[in-house]
Structure 1
């Protein structure tokens, strides 16, 4: 059944989380030094480009992680990347996806900072509560905020305060 994920796609006792694209061709295994669901982690991006790639009105749910904490498996070579040169930040964003089923994978790793990756949380059976939202001026008026106003940012450059703890492998540090 499509709505029931295999038990192997849940967390283990050592904070290892496995997710996959819709067809199962691409899997990501996250090995984290913390429980992904014990506190808010990840964020929602409301920029037009993330919304288009996720096809979600509420924006793309993603998490930034050190690339070293991610193991990507693509035995059938289905991973494709579109280099988005029209991002609001002015940076090229390598948007990876499964070429077979179209599921967004994220930016694994990012071009601007190879030691950092952005993973699409839709690959996992469960999503953590987000820490913040960015590009909130582009959020649809009928979409309710998921975080307090102090953690709603207009631009991605405003989230720099989270980078140190993310790169240190500590999550978003909340």
Structure 2
């Protein structure tokens, strides 16, 4: 029998993630646990269309969540967590992008712009909350659609540079 497809998020009822959610890199060496109640009670996290996030995600958009660092537990079982210092950023401040050195799976990003916070790469989790916003919406490809109920910001979705492009289709 051939392998069955994996990763259908509908196989995981959000009620099982009331206090925390765990996910891993592709090879299983790195496990990340987000310890926060109500992750699925309201829209959380953001989609980012900046070139750097797209490259890290290997896709046309990255799914990220800004979390308090003390609510994130990273278990690096085999010592494969590596970090790249990304100096080509809009702010000029480096972003430290961590990933699995075996399978390349993105794990987290840290920047001085958000002290005490960490940007978690959501693709490694079995379920992803509906995003609360979309950043760098002006960098979307022309063929991309609008995500229902998700406001799109021209550049940043948080901070002084935020400028709303659209409210999303409700």
TM-score w.r.t. the length of structure 1 is 0.79
2:39 aligned residue (15, 36, 49): 36
Which has the larger helix fraction?
Answer: 1
Unpaired runs of 5+ in structure 2? 161-170
1:51-105, Cα deviation, whole Å (9 max, x unpaired): 0110111x11000000000010002110011111011232211111100111010
Partner of 2:93: 91
For the structure 1 residues 43 and 4, does the alpha-carbon distance in structure 2 shift closer, same or farther, using more than 3 Å as the test?
Answer: closer
Aligned positions of 1:65-76 closer than 5 A: 65-76=67-78
Distance 2:87 2:148 in 1: 29
Unpaired runs of 5+ in structure 1? 162-174
Runs of 4+ in 1 over 6 A off after TM superposition: none
User: In the alignment, is the contact (CA less than 8 A) between 2:34 and 2:73 conserved in 1?
Assistant: yes
Helix, strand or coil at the partner of 2:141:
coil
TM-score w.r.t. the length of structure 2 is 0.80
Q: Which moved more, 1:81-90 or 1:43-52?
A: 81-90
Partner of 2:54: 51
Partner of 2:138: 137
Which has the larger strand fraction?
Answer: 2
Offset, 1:4: 5.0
Whose radius of gyration is greater, 1 or 2?
2
CA RMSD of aligned residues (A): 2.4
Helix, strand or coil at the partner of 1:117:
strand
Q: Which has the higher contact order (CA 8 A, sep 6+)?
A: 1
Partner of 2:159: 160
User: In the alignment, is the contact (CA less than 8 A) between 2:86 and 2:94 conserved in 1?
Assistant: yes
Aligned length: 154
